[in-house]
Amino acid sequence: MLSVVTADGSIGSGIDEIVLEGARRMLAAALEAEVNQYLAELAAERDERGHRLVVRNGRHRPRTVATAADPVEVAAARVNDRRIDEATGERKRFSSKILAPWCRKSPRISEVLPLLYLRGPSGDFVPAL
């Protein structure tokens, strides 16, 4: 039998837990790689004292993202970007292209929900999935 030991020590069994844990780890790794690439591209940018203008700054609070499988909890890395945009005079900001700040569900969920709603009154959900 397959089993997964989670970070809090509880044991989950079955393929669903393994899939969800794999999805969580892959999403976390992709977000981490995206931040690392952003930091590496801007590593040469320094202020007058020689300090980097773009640095890692901990993690955001964990948030739950609804995926096609099940909800997955992720905590994206924070980036402190002290560069100033010449056109607007405001500070530049790092924004993940993988997981936007406003994103709480995957685009696939948004596509399926209207179909489920339309199929709901008839009770025939299988074709919508």
Q: Does residue 10 fall inside a structural domain? A: no
| 123 domain residue, yes or no | yes
Task: Confirm whether pTM is higher than 0.85.
Answer: no
Confidence check: pLDDT of 33 > 80: yes
Position 11 in a domain: no
| Residue 111 structure tokens | 């596509």
Per-residue pLDDT tens for 34-49? 999 999 999 999 999 9
Mean pLDDT of 114-126: 57
In a domain, 1, yes or no: no
Q: How confident is the model at residue 1 (pLDDT cuts 50, 70, 90)?
A: very low
d(CA 89, CA 17): 47
Mean pLDDT over residues 75-82, rounded?
90
- The answer to whether residue 64 is domain-embedded is yes
Structural domain including 114 reads 27-128
Domain count, the chain: 1
Does 74 map to a domain? yes
- Stretch 111-121: mean pLDDT, rounded? 58
